[in-house]
Structure 1
Amino acid sequence: MEYKDYYKTLGVEKTATAEQIKKAYRKLARQHHPDVNPNNPESERKFKEANEANEVLSDADKRKKYDQLGADWQRYEQQGASRGPAGGRGAPGGGFDWGQYAQGGGGGSPFGDEGGDFSDFFGSIFGNMGGGGGRSARPGAGQDYQAELELSLEEAYQGGPRTITVNGKNLRLTVKPGVADGQTIRLRGQGGPGRNGGPEGALLLTFRLAPDARYARTGNDLTQDVPVDLYTALLGGEQTVATLGSPVKIKIKPETPNGTRLRLRGKGFPVYDQPGQFGDLYLRLTIALPQHLTDEEKALIGQLAALRAPAA
């Protein structure tokens, strides 16, 4: 039977702490969860492998026994294993007592066929997870649910309370300012019921931000087009600009070219989960030409054009 390297499965070192193991497992579980990858045998296999590795490495007693087995495994491979008449593995050669690893402490080979939903390798060492009825007899976390919440850019800027319905249940939550499109948060205890007294699953909530005609968002920075009339652009002046926060008064220099960009520090989007911090707001000034000119206005503009005409 092939030895399973649970540390390699989770992508951690053998010296990993319990917190590092938990973090690595959660990352793999989210990545390969059947709800995220329906009808994907490869993801299902990796999900089960991650569960099995976490079952061992997150339990101090199981991890100690597994580490001890890992240290002796090379001796098993070097000594070889005798084979019975039917071709099955018996006790390893060299007289080494592998009974110390077999579930229940009995003699003989540790390579049985138990294990429930876990591999034969797991079952031969730890049995049916300590329960007489297989894995289902052990408490387990409930299924994780997934949902989406659509917000306008302004709602994502402000944050605040929202109510969503998941599996017929109304759930009230507070959205933190600064969420991004596609960002997913995990709400513990809001998923499916646990098995055999285990904890409820989680709700994986993904935010979807509707496009906004006024602003373009890049990270925590915003860009906004601001129309400026021709006379203010030529002569200079002040103009009040509406933003997602409070209105801002800007100064426009005389002879400001079309397309000029102004940077307003700290007037952009809130930085998620960092209260009081904001990105920047970039204003792109677009010169608005006057429309429906009167004859008098046309005449005055004609005089200006003549003054600006190059000398013959």
Structure 2
Amino acid sequence: MAATDFKDYYAILGVSKTAEAAEIKRSFRKLARKYHPDVNPDNKAAEAKFKEVSEAYEVLSDSDKRKKYDQFGQYWQQASRAGGGVPGGGVPGGAGGFDFGSYGSFEEFIFELLGRKSGFGGAGGPGGARTQTRYQARPGTGGFGSAGFDTSGFGSSGFGFDPRTASGASSSRGLYDQTAELKLTMSEAFHGVEKRFSIGSESVKVRIPAGVKPGSKIRLKGKGARNPQTQQRGDVYLTVEIASHSFFQFDGDNLVCEVPIAPDEAVLGAKVEVPTPDGAVTVSIPAGVKSGQSLRLRGKGWPKKKGASRSDQLVKVVITPSKELSEKERSLYEQIKDSRQSDPRAEISNIKL
């Protein structure tokens, strides 16, 4: 990060570096009232300023955070004058005994300083879950606190924040709401599953209902970030992601699959076994079926809301000739070719531009 990206929290709040806590608090309250989104609806510049002011206050109002910020700021200025930092990317021992060598950027340090590097603990399910913390003012949130960060990251076994992938804040959630992407297998989503999450030191058990679809929202009320003034907590919103399946895919509300059949089955018709989410069924393939034609299995698809019924399963027929023929099979195909009277390409023989 360039030196010009350094955020001077003292300048943002309009106080000196020797300012007492009471002065910092008075300045913050004054600026927060001035730029709060409730006072400046649809004003993006005021919204950005409010986030910046809140961020500055969160650091400078905490004595430990302020001390570390002061130390890192001094190092940042020295590194800038030295032409971009110390070779090897670290400062042995750091300033005042604080080691900054483990931080890849100033933003990374600040996010850990704010205590957002590990907002969630482990979660069940394949692939874990991606999480995002949304801090966004909206009417009725009440009070002023941390704002302006949207941190996201990936964990092999659960929730985790990575400040290096931070992006913009959501405009549709409360100031202390959080969002997470919950990955499920198709079997878990079809049958429903119970998951247990660790949010800080708290263990939360969540029942995922049968029939959730990609993009479904699950709300964990009162499990989000805590308002430092009111001690009330926001909500966590889980957005469902379903891992791809080797056979079943979604087609709107229905499921779709491809079933291979042999050329003789396409010509003569056949009865074939087709998998469905809850077991195989026998399907009649009509004589003369075309490759790509779909057959509908009513009520064999995805559970609908409240589990009262299910959507349909569409079976796409794919005619699949054998790549390895026996001598007898080849001979019979040769006989069919020699005795065939119809031309499958008759209708396209005269097409031109």
Normalising by the smaller structure, the TM-score range is 0.5 to 0.7
Give the direction of change, closer, same or farther, for the CA distance of 1:153–1:117 in structure 2 (3 Å limit): closer
> Residue 303 of structure 2 corresponds to which residue in structure 1?
270
> Residue 245 of structure 2 corresponds to which residue in structure 1?
212
**AA at the equivalent of 1:258:** S
CA drift of 1:298 comes to 1.4
Given that residues 222 and 281 in structure 1 are in contact (C-alpha distance below 8 angstroms), is that contact kept between their aligned partners in structure 2?
yes
Secondary structure of 2:211 counterpart: coil
**AA at the equivalent of 1:286:** V
**AA at the equivalent of 1:213:** S
Secondary structure of 1:255 counterpart: coil
Name the CA distance, whole Å, in 1 between partners of 2:216 and 2:252: 12
Calculate percent identity across the aligned residue pairs: 25
> Residue 147 of structure 1 corresponds to which residue in structure 2?
180
Structure 2 gap ranges (5+)? 1-37, 53-134, 146-173, 344-353
Given that residues 136 and 175 in structure 2 are in contact (C-alpha distance below 8 angstroms), is that contact kept between their aligned partners in structure 1?
no
Name the CA distance, whole Å, in 1 between partners of 2:309 and 2:280: 18
Instruction: Please point out which of 265, 270, 282 is paired with 1:249.
Output: 282
> Residue 338 of structure 2 corresponds to which residue in structure 1?
306
**AA at the equivalent of 2:233:** E
**AA at the equivalent of 1:203:** V
Q: Which of structures 1 and 2 has the bigger CA Rg?
A: 1
Given that residues 145 and 203 in structure 1 are in contact (C-alpha distance below 8 angstroms), is that contact kept between their aligned partners in structure 2?
yes
Name the CA distance, whole Å, in 2 between partners of 1:254 and 1:40: 66
Given that residues 138 and 175 in structure 2 are in contact (C-alpha distance below 8 angstroms), is that contact kept between their aligned partners in structure 1?
no
Give the direction of change, closer, same or farther, for the CA distance of 1:229–1:164 in structure 2 (3 Å limit): farther
- Equivalent pairs counted in the alignment come to 196
Name the CA distance, whole Å, in 1 between partners of 2:338 and 2:330: 12
> Residue 296 of structure 1 corresponds to which residue in structure 2?
328
Instruction: Please point out which of 313, 316, 336 is paired with 1:284.
Output: 316
CA drift of 1:308 comes to 0.9
Given that residues 147 and 166 in structure 1 are in contact (C-alpha distance below 8 angstroms), is that contact kept between their aligned partners in structure 2?
no
Secondary structure of 1:274 counterpart: helix
Name the CA distance, whole Å, in 2 between partners of 1:294 and 1:177: 48
Name the CA distance, whole Å, in 1 between partners of 2:50 and 2:337: 71
Name the CA distance, whole Å, in 1 between partners of 2:49 and 2:246: 42
CA drift of 1:174 comes to 0.9
1:27-106 aligned at under 5 Å gives the runs 41=48, 48=137, 50-51=139-140
CA drift of 1:262 comes to 0.6
Name the CA distance, whole Å, in 1 between partners of 2:326 and 2:137: 78
CA drift of 1:246 comes to 2.5
**AA at the equivalent of 2:221:** R
Name the CA distance, whole Å, in 2 between partners of 1:277 and 1:224: 20
CA drift of 1:286 comes to 0.5
Given that residues 229 and 288 in structure 1 are in contact (C-alpha distance below 8 angstroms), is that contact kept between their aligned partners in structure 2?
yes
Given that residues 222 and 236 in structure 2 are in contact (C-alpha distance below 8 angstroms), is that contact kept between their aligned partners in structure 1?
yes
Name the CA distance, whole Å, in 1 between partners of 2:327 and 2:298: 44
1:125-274 aligned at under 5 Å gives the runs 143-193=176-226, 199-271=232-304, 273-274=305-306
**AA at the equivalent of 2:259:** V
Name the CA distance, whole Å, in 1 between partners of 2:196 and 2:136: 31
> Residue 128 of structure 2 corresponds to which residue in structure 1?
none
Name the CA distance, whole Å, in 1 between partners of 2:187 and 2:242: 9
Given that residues 156 and 179 in structure 1 are in contact (C-alpha distance below 8 angstroms), is that contact kept between their aligned partners in structure 2?
yes
1:106-125 aligned at under 5 Å gives the runs none
Given that residues 163 and 173 in structure 1 are in contact (C-alpha distance below 8 angstroms), is that contact kept between their aligned partners in structure 2?
yes
Q: How large is the Cα RMSD of the aligned pairs?
A: 3.8
Deviation by residue 1:107-160 (Cα, 9 ceiling, x = unmatched) = xxxxxxxxx859xxxxxxxxxxxxxxxxxxxxxx99333332211222211112
Given that residues 220 and 278 in structure 1 are in contact (C-alpha distance below 8 angstroms), is that contact kept between their aligned partners in structure 2?
no
Secondary structure of 2:139 counterpart: helix
Structure 1 gap ranges (5+)? 1-5, 11-36, 56-115, 119-140
Give the direction of change, closer, same or farther, for the CA distance of 1:236–1:218 in structure 2 (3 Å limit): closer
Name the CA distance, whole Å, in 2 between partners of 1:230 and 1:177: 39
Secondary structure of 1:226 counterpart: strand
Give the direction of change, closer, same or farther, for the CA distance of 1:215–1:49 in structure 2 (3 Å limit): closer
**AA at the equivalent of 2:338:** A
Structure 1 length as normaliser, TM-score? 0.53
CA drift of 1:187 comes to 0.8
- Structure 1 runs of 4+ aligned residues shifted over 3 Å read 42-49, 192-200
